[in-house]
Structure 1
Amino acid sequence: MAFTSGTVEFAHPSLPSPAQTWYRVYGDLSSSSSSSSSSSSSSSTQPPLVVLHGGPGYCHNYMLPLADLASPSSGEERPVVLYDQIGNGLSSHYPEKRGDATFWTVGLFLAELENLLAKLGIAGRQFDLLGHSWGGMLGAEFAVTRPTGLRRLILSNAPAAVSLWVDSVARLRSTLPQEVRDVLDRCEREDRLDSEEYEHATVEFLNRFGCRTQPWPADLIDSIVWTTEKDTTVASTMLGRSEFFVEGSLKDWTIVDRIARINVPTLLINGEYDEAQDSTLEPFFQAIDKVKWVTLAGAGHCAQFDARDKYLDVVKGFLQL
């Protein structure tokens, strides 16, 4: 599939020097329409879809299934924009900022998104936005500002508050086999969260509720390697050391009291076995005026792998409305 890759410079007051945000565009971004009408059957009029990856600390790789929407076989050839948030993947890294909660803020990532949209010529035109997990949290933060040009919003497997996420994960953890729970409890009690034993028990959880596709797809593994081995700065600072609780700078994050400001049609997606259980999405459903919610049978948190065809059909159908 045809794509173009590159970087855009991102300057921000908190940065010691301008960063580089790496991006990849599938399809022809220049051909997407700047018109307010998106109902034409011509593929050249389809607004671009900008994708926000999760983590924090992952990178674009595990969201690559969405590039299929730019394929001629999709029937619409919608431009799809993927990028790595700074501190992640192929964008600029700042390992010296490990543990600096005043640096790794939601505001920094929002400014980066706004900069990317401007540098790619998307700002001010019609575009759609899809955020997965943390990317959905970031997408919601962006949407409440009511940015010009945002046409449709997709919050995929994303919680409305970190406290709701932690509660959901705790309930799912209680369904694990007793021997797995015993390992997790013991390692946490002994502060051995970096042990191989704890890692293996965590993978048991993720096989059920993270990505149920076995073996895990290579694109997902690539993202995991980035955040767990190559550079753990963002994840360790914003989340912490465990899948089961948040001790980093996002621990008190919530958008529940601001959701009603989202004024564009919104699609909510989660999986039947998702870490983001229904309770984490419910505030979005209750507060957004024009909202649709789809739960994908048999899928976990990575529904783009676990129910790939259905996931893409749901996204495509929503964007075509």
Structure 2
Amino acid sequence: MKKIALIIIALSTCLFACKQADKTSASPEIALSTFFKDSVAGVKTGGIQMVQISTPKGKFNVWTKKIGNNPKIKLLLLNGGPGATHEYFECMESFLPAEGIELIYYDQLGCGNSDNPKDTAMWSLPRYVEEVEQVRQALKLDSSNFYLLGHSWGGILAAEYAFKYQKNLKGLVISNMMMSCPDYGKYANEVLAKQFDPKVLARIRAIEAKGDFTNPEYMGLLMPNFYGKHICRIPLDKWPEPLNRSFGKINQSLYVTMQGPSEFGIAGKLLKWDRVADLPKLSVPTLSIGGEFDTMDPKHMQMVAGKVQNGSYLYCPKGSHMSMYDDQETYMTGLIKFIKGVNVGEKKVAL
């Protein structure tokens, strides 16, 4: 009997050890020296790589920069605007690298450090999708490691990329962007507009009716009454420097062509964009992020997570459009949990 008991104990110990080994191999810890090692041959550039892309109007260069090195988790970031820069994502450096998540910044064509052809014909959603695919190929990202996060306009681009190329993705994050621009416009008019002082709203509408968007009074009214309440709920004079720096570099040609002249509602080429009916086609693990005070309806964002095949929803109760700043702990904790969950095989992650 003692021999049988010893055998059972030995087998149990072995089984436990095997399970622990499986866990370790599924989610390996990366040594600091490995994570930050620059393995690029030749002259080091701090992770910066210029990627040449082909377009109907010729070849151009777009700017990318990676922070960290994890063969299993590579997060490519698509900025919003349209026409802003990667710079407002810099807050992620305070959270994600410490968790072994490799960050990849990328300025889309016409943005930041990338070439600017100054041709409105280039500001096209299908063309940008092909640009992202060319960047993916150049950076050697694939379904074993490629996570794509799109924020605001970047969320439209990320979703559109996934509809065509989800086979290349390991995980998708749609941050603070509804999947229907008509619904976004409706939310702005029927929900957000009603939160304005009626006199302020009337003056904003009067300026818009004249098309007088360069009038200083226009942004003077929008900044405290809209941007400070629904874009970033940190006092305007204390907005984070990376956010101000990024917004200060917005390509107005790109912004107005795609979005229209104001964040308060939508116009431009994206006016009729609507992909809600197609959401069930997405099988890649998808995280949808919404904020209570966002310009985007948080209930719509929850709906997105319910309609895709493998959806997770992150709700930021203190957050607005820039929830990565004004509800930072909720945003970063949820994002990290989602990525790590997908990395160990979870398709839906409880947040």
Match of 1:186 in 2: 206
Alignment of 1:12-161 (within 5 A): 12=55, 14-15=56-57, 17-28=58-69, 32-33=70-71, 46-71=72-97, 74=98, 76-95=99-118, 97-98=119-120, 100=121, 103-123=122-142, 125-161=144-180
Give distance in 2, aligned partners of 1:210 and 1:163.
Answer: 19
Give the number of equivalent residue pairs: 294
Contact map agreement 2:287 2:305 (CA 8 A) in 1: no
Match of 2:50 in 1: 7
CA deviations 1:296-315 (Å, max 9, x no partner) are 11111000010112211110
CA deviations 1:125-149 (Å, max 9, x no partner) are 4211111111111111111224334
CA deviations 1:93-150 (Å, max 9, x no partner) are 022x13x3xx321111111111111111113542111111111111111112243341
> Where do 5+ consecutive residues of structure 2 fail to align?
1-34, 37-45, 342-351
Match of 1:248 in 2: 268
Contact map agreement 1:165 1:280 (CA 8 A) in 2: no
> What secondary structure, in the 3-state scheme, does the structure 1 residue paired with 2:315 have?
strand
| Percent identity between the two aligned chains | 25
Match of 1:219 in 2: 242
Give distance in 2, aligned partners of 1:107 and 1:203.
Answer: 32
Match of 1:284 in 2: 304
Contact map agreement 2:290 2:297 (CA 8 A) in 1: yes
Give distance in 1, aligned partners of 2:240 and 2:223.
Answer: 14
Q: Please, which of 193, 202, 213 is the counterpart of residue 173 of structure 1?
A: 193
**1:91, distance to aligned residue in structure 2 (A):** 0.5
TM-score of the aligned structures, taking structure 1 as reference length: 0.86
> What secondary structure, in the 3-state scheme, does the structure 2 residue paired with 1:81 have?
strand
Give distance in 2, aligned partners of 1:124 and 1:320.
Answer: 15
Give distance in 1, aligned partners of 2:248 and 2:181.
Answer: 24
> What secondary structure, in the 3-state scheme, does the structure 2 residue paired with 1:226 have?
coil
> What secondary structure, in the 3-state scheme, does the structure 1 residue paired with 2:112 have?
coil
The structure where helix makes up a greater share of residues is: 2
Find the structure with the greater CA-based Rg. Answer: 2
> What secondary structure, in the 3-state scheme, does the structure 1 residue paired with 2:170 have?
strand
The one-letter amino acid of 2:272's match is D
Give distance in 1, aligned partners of 2:181 and 2:332.
Answer: 26
Q: Which has the higher contact order (CA 8 A, sep 6+)?
A: 1
**1:283, distance to aligned residue in structure 2 (A):** 4.5
**1:287, distance to aligned residue in structure 2 (A):** 1.7
Match of 2:12 in 1: none
**1:246, distance to aligned residue in structure 2 (A):** 2.4
